[in-house]
Every structure is written in C-alpha cells, then in structure tokens.
Structure 1
Amino acid sequence: MIELIYFDFNFWRADILRLCLSLGGIPFKYKRLARNSWPKEKKNFPFGQLPVLVIDNQMYAHTHTLARYCAKKSVLYDTNERKSLIIDQVLDWANEITNLVAPSIRAAMREKNLEKSKKLREEFVKNDLLNWFTYLEDLLNKSSKNKKFFTDNFSIADITAWRVIYWFTSGRLDMVEKSFIDKLPVLKKYYQGINNYDPLIRLKEFREITST
C-alpha cells in the first residue's frame, strides 16, 4: 500500500495527493509528522522535504513529481501532450505563488518577527496576489472551452487550483482579503463549480480539509 507522509496540518502539497488517490480509489495510508519533530526527522527524508510517498519501502519526493504519479494512477492526468502541459502549468503555478507568499509566513512562524512578516505580506498583496491569480484565470480562459475544468475534463489541475484558491480565500492568511477573487469573475465561477463537484465533495478528505 502507498504511504503518504506529511506534517500534522493540512496544506495543498499533501492534500492534492490524498484527494487524487481517494478519487481514484487507490488505497493509501496517511501518516502525519508532528511539526516539532521535524528538525530530528528531516535527515531521514529525500531532499529534506515533505511530502513523500513510500512505495515498496522506497521514498519518493517533490510535489510536482508525486502529483503526476498520483494523477496517472487515478486517471486524473492526460495522455494528450498539450493537455498535460496545461496540467503541469497549474501545478507549477501553485508552487510559484506559494514561494511568493512563503517568506511572510516564515518570518512569523520561524523567526517570530511579526513586523517583518507584516511588511512582506503587504508587499505580496500589493505586487503578487492579484497578478498571479490573474495568470491562473488567463490560463483557464485560454485552455478551457467549458470553463468548468482546465482541460475540459476534471484532472489534478482542478484539484490543485481549487485547493490553492481555497487556501487564499479561507481568511487564514492575514491581510489577504478573500474578496480579491471577486475581481476575477471567470475564476470565481470556476472555483464555485469545483466547490460543488459531487465526486470531489463527497470525499472524507474534502470534508476534513474544508472543516478545519
């Protein structure tokens, strides 16, 4: 059985993997590591990172790599080369916007420097937030005929886009007003559609993510 290992909190990097596997009916075990144990545990994981998948006692790492693997097993990738490029762009977009907001998170959580965190978050909101979600909306407009799914079929791209939009509109990121999505009507309608996509919302993982 596949084992997915991540920290003891919900985050898109692991959530897209477990949602994908669950949608595909792929059995897996989900192991959560306590965040305060990470300094000691880090050396035991490839690249010193999480999430990882353990398959036949072998660890595999890097979110994008794992997402493609899970999506292919769950038939949520695409055999069409150009459509797979669309999917990969969404995965890379998620990683890039995370890297842009991450310094403000680290300043607060690791450095305990709230003033620095506030300044970095202000810069992110001013310079990056709307720009990067506009990039995502532009990709949807160019890639999708039905505007329901990025490749016109539900895929790991939609799981990823939904999970990251959920994060940024949840109200859990200080200074990020959830109403920013109102400026992106196509993306907002798309997000609402995924939020009501029955095969997804009936999963226990979906309910757990959205209830915490």
Structure 2
Amino acid sequence: MPTYKLTYFNARGYAEAARILFHLADVPFEDFRMTHGDGTWEKLKDGAPFGQVPYLTVDGFDIPQSAAIIRYLANKFGYAGKTPEEQVWADAIVDQFKDFMGSFRERIMAHFAGKSQEEIAKITSEVVIPARDSYFKILNGLLEKSKSGFLVGDSITFADIVISENITTLEKNQLFVASEQPNLAALREKVYAIPAIRKWVEARPDTQY
C-alpha cells in the first residue's frame, strides 16, 4: 500500500475533504498539521509544489492543489461517481464551490489580517452574502431533483463531502442556519451519518475554518 502524507495547517479548510476521504476509505495517512506563526511553513514553503498548501505526498510524489488532491483520492477510493456523467457533475459542483470560495476568502483574509469588525461586516454583506445566496440556490436546485439525497447519483461522492464541510465552515461563521436551508442541512446530516465519517467528525480538532 502506498504511504500518504497530507500537509496543511491545523484547520479544516481546503484539506478536510481529503482527510474525510481517507477515513471513509479506511486508508491510513499522516495528517501533518502546521501552526500559523511557528516557522514550520516558512521552512517548507520553498520546497512545496506551487509554494502552497495543502499538498499530498504519495510515496515521495507530491500533488498540489486541494481540488486535484480530492479528485485523485476520490478516483482511487471509489468516490468520484459511478459513470463519466456523474464524475463530471461532481467535478462541476466542486468547481462551483471554488467559485464561491473566491468571495468567502475575502472575509477569511480580512479576519487573519486583523481588519476591524466594521470592515469584515462590509465584506460579508456586500461580497459574501450575495455569492452565498447564488451558491445555495444552485445546490438547492440539485438537491430538489435528487432521488437519493446526494448531490450526484445514488451514493456519496467527493462533491457531497466538499459541500458538507463548507456548510460546517459557514455555520461556524454565522453564514448558515440549518432551519433556513433544510435541503443542505439534510445533505450534511446524511454525509455525517456514515459511521466512518461520523467517527472522524466527532474526534477531529474543532476549528473555525
């Protein structure tokens, strides 16, 4: 069996869907977490592919970019979709998530840059909330057509994991209320009810992002 090492900060962020895929598939991996400001990332950055995290190392072979990592693992472990059509829709949903994250990232960066609450509130109301509402409309449309409760096909794919984790992050940042989004809340509940995922979610570090 290959050896896997996932390098990221001590946050869920862009690495959590990959972590969940490892636990779902019951595949061991090294979950290497850095702490912001402890100097570890500064030492590793020049050697990291693209100079970014997360990156996944498989038997010494580095894979950059969170979406590429997730798709790679989903294909290896059988969670990419059962047909080419399901696979391309799972890809499209994750690409839509990335589009939304371009807006949400503005708020995250403002938070870590120490911006005032007034500045963060302005970004939230003018940038994040309009993007979130459009994003939720797309996801709700898919779930309303679904016969399984999953976003694609009749079983879990990496798209369900990515979206469920994003919902948790939005909830922790007061941007998701389960009672206002019953379809999305039900999706997350369905994903988190899978025993291997539930076990990890209950045990993992609790972080805002």
1:103 maps to 2:106: yes
Contact 1:87 1:157 in 2 (8 A): yes
Provide TM-score, normalisation by structure 1. Answer: 0.85
Q: What letter corresponds to residue 202 of structure 2 in structure 1?
A: R
**CA offsets 1:86-145 (integer angstroms, 9 cap, x no match):** 1112221222222111112212212x2224322111213442222211111123334x32
Which residue of the other structure, out of 159, 182, 192, is the alignment partner of 2:161? 159
Instruction: Give distance in 1, aligned partners of 2:100 and 2:204.
Output: 20
Which residue of the other structure, out of 199, 207, 210, is the alignment partner of 2:202? 207
Residue matched to 2:12: 10
Alignment of 1:61-140 (within 5 A): 61-110=64-113, 112-114=114-116, 115-140=118-143
Instruction: Give distance in 2, aligned partners of 1:153 and 1:75.
Output: 11
Residue matched to 1:185: 182
Equivalent residue pairs, number: 202
Instruction: Give distance in 2, aligned partners of 1:192 and 1:210.
Output: 19
Which residue of the other structure, out of 42, 47, 52, is the alignment partner of 2:50? 47
Contact 2:9 2:34 in 1 (8 A): yes
Instruction: Give distance in 2, aligned partners of 1:94 and 1:129.
Output: 10
Instruction: Give distance in 2, aligned partners of 1:25 and 1:122.
Output: 41
**CA offsets 1:63-96 (integer angstroms, 9 cap, x no match):** 1111011112211112411100111122212222
Residues 22, 42 of structure 1: CA spacing in aligned structure 2 closer, same or farther, 3 A cutoff? same
Residues 165, 209 of structure 1: CA spacing in aligned structure 2 closer, same or farther, 3 A cutoff? farther
Q: What letter corresponds to residue 20 of structure 2 in structure 1?
A: L
Q: How many angstroms does 1:150 deviate by?
A: 2.6
Contact 2:23 2:197 in 1 (8 A): no
Residue matched to 2:191: 194
Instruction: Give distance in 2, aligned partners of 1:210 and 1:153.
Output: 27
Instruction: Give distance in 2, aligned partners of 1:83 and 1:22.
Output: 22
Contact 2:89 2:152 in 1 (8 A): yes
Q: How many angstroms does 1:35 deviate by?
A: 1.7
Instruction: Give distance in 2, aligned partners of 1:55 and 1:208.
Output: 25
Provide TM-score, normalisation by structure 2. Answer: 0.86
Instruction: Give distance in 1, aligned partners of 2:115 and 2:54.
Output: 27
Instruction: Give distance in 2, aligned partners of 1:24 and 1:211.
Output: 22
Q: What letter corresponds to residue 50 of structure 2 in structure 1?
A: F
More divergent stretch after superposition (31-40 vs 156-165): 31-40
- Identity rate, percent: 23
1:56 maps to 2:59: yes
